[in-house]
Structure 1
Amino acid sequence: MTFVRLPAVALLLAFAAPGSAFAEDNGHGPEIAAQSWSFAPPFGTYDRAQLQRGYRVYKDICANCHSMRLLSYRNLGEPGGPEFSPKAVEVLASQAQITDGPDDKGQMFQRPGRPADHFRSPYPNEQAARAAHKGALPPDLSVMAKARPGGPDYLYALLTGYREPPEGFDLAKGMHYNEAFPGHQIAMRNPLVDGAIQYTDGTKPTVDNYARDVSAFLMWAAEPKLEERHKLGARVMIFLLVFAVIMYLAKRAVWSRLHARDHAHTA
């Protein structure tokens, strides 16, 4: 696996709130194209292989700057998610060095991660994170897919939206042109390049697949119970359909008796 380390401003600016100091919004946000997702309502489900690939993209790229404090490594093996095997979850957790303690001497120490640990944050505290990003705090990605209008469609569009600026566009120094970002100017360079991560399941290592996979993974992180909600919705719809049929038949039975009685009285 190829490990890609991004510069200090990396993904922080990619997920910065529209209208921030990093972009000029003219009041009309860019049009975000709707993508085809396996988890789309009303009955969609997550693609397990896609979520596993998306975790790899997050781990090797996004995790250099962003935390996911609401997730634990054990969540990667739970039903409805990537569903890594218990052994794989242990291995993934052990790859992170977690600060623990104090020990018998009152000292903090580093140890391999365990499945029960929360995802390791790239910085020990908020102050360190701000210092590394010139005062800006990298947002946590746990619910990012639900926090931005367009959700995974926006994340995908952002990560694949880097282009050369059109002729006549006034691009500020140090900024990059992005079709999906409000104002089209973003301080982060393109974080994804073809071949940065080698997939092991035969999926092509392209920017399009990286962006699609990590967007799906962030959607699962933000809504891990989506499949349960879809199943509940299906049961409710079936119940309402059956109930409507029963009520229709009951109505016909009641009105047929009333019509028969009225006909007998007028006869």
Structure 2
Amino acid sequence: MSSVFRGQVLKSLVVFGSQYRRLSTKQGCPRAKTILLSTLGVIGAGAGALLYALENAYVEASYADLAHAHHQPWTHDGWTQALDHASIRRGYEVYKQICKACHSCQYIAFRNLVGVTHTEEQAKAEAAEVMVRDGPDETGEYFERPGRLSDYFPSPYPNENAARYANNGSYPPDLSLIVLGRHGGEDYVFSLLTGYVPAPAGVVLREGQHYNPYFSGGAIAMGKLLEDDAIEYTDGTCATAAQMAKDVATFLRWTSEPELDDRRQMSIRLCLWFTVASALMWFFNRHKWISMKSRKLAYKPVAK
């Protein structure tokens, strides 16, 4: 049960206790029953508060052994800021050439790239590079065909067991929602990709493991993949390790919320519309209805 849900339960218990006590008092409910119900409400509220405190303590303890991911000056920070689409495209290139070999991105289709990082023709060309299993056909057989815009990014492994077998028992997570699913978001992704250091004294790593203080436990199966000039950007940007980490973190921020820019635009328009509507309501209330609200009705008997 999440902390938000527990907070809502706590509020509901308090409101229920107060409302029930008020109603029971008005309807002549016995005082003993009222006291019992009030006591149960207080106990429930106390239990909810205790669970909330325990959950916060558990979360803090879970991240106590991790290095804190420092906040980076992202260009999309802020309510009125949009994602850097050039960085998203470069991040897609990093994902395609480095991350795609192990990690899937199953909730993103090639059509999502249109108008964001690629034109429609470019996105079709990207999709055509992938062979997709389709069928059955008229004869009942499955076949492979070039990808289409409607197809989703393929997984590098046919199933989870194959993924674990290829990675010494570790399962590479899907990256579609990784930014929303990790504490720190894109700051965590950037820090993890650039935070590989030699293991400190006393830390024993098994074969195939690497030390990263930003990963839970410190031991991570994924090695350091981002090295300077590991890839070549199509726009000519210098492909340093930090630049690639920044771009792929921005790309994963977009995959987690492809509608982020549209939602922010809509919120700005709604705020402007509500501002205009509020001004119009004030004007009509002040200048059109004030005469109706302030009029005085007087009875004047007809003189005989």
* TM-score by shorter chain over 0.5: yes
SS of corresponding position for 2:132: strand
Amino acid paired to 2:206: K
**SS of structure 2 residue aligned to 1:39:** coil
> 1: distance between equivalents of 2:73 and 2:285?
42
2:190 partner letter: Y
Residue 238 of structure 1 and its aligned partner are, at CA, apart by: 3.4
CA distance in 2, matches of 1:136, 1:185: 12
The amino acid across from 2:76 in the alignment is F
Change (3 A) 1:28 1:252: farther
List aligned pairs for 1:54-203, cutoff 5 A.
54-77=91-114, 79=115, 81-82=116-117, 84-166=118-200, 168-174=201-207, 175-203=209-237
TM-score after normalising by structure 2: 0.66
Distance 1:137 1:104 in 2: 37
Which structure has the greater CA radius of gyration?
A: 2
Which one is further off, 242-251 or 49-58? 242-251
The structure in which a higher percent of residues are helix is 2
Indicate conservation of the 8 Å contact 1:90/1:114, yes or no: yes
Distance in 1 (CA, whole Å) between partners of 2:218 and 2:164 is: 25
**Equivalent position SS for 1:67:** coil
Gaps of 5+ in 1: 1-23, 254-267
Aligned length: 231
Is the 2:103–2:173 Cα contact (8 Å) retained in structure 1? yes
Distance 1:105 1:247, change over 3 A: closer
Q: Aligned partner of 2:205: which letter?
A: A
Q: Distance in 1 between matches of 2:169 and 2:136?
A: 30
Give the TM-score of the pair, scaled to structure 1.
Answer: 0.75
Identity of aligned residues (%): 40
- Report what 1:47 is aligned to: 84
Is the contact made by 1:25 and 1:183 (CA closer than 8 Å) also made in structure 2? Answer: no
CA change 1:243–1:111 in 2 (3 A) is closer
| Preserved contact between residue 69 and residue 140 of structure 1 (Cα < 8 Å) | yes
Alpha carbon RMSD of aligned pairs, Å? Answer: 3.0
Gaps of 5+ in 2: 1-60, 288-304
Tell me the secondary structure at the aligned position of residue 99 of structure 1: strand
**Contact 1:30/1:182 (<8 A) preserved:** no
1:223-243: per-residue Cα shift (whole Å, max 9, x none)? 011111211222344355557
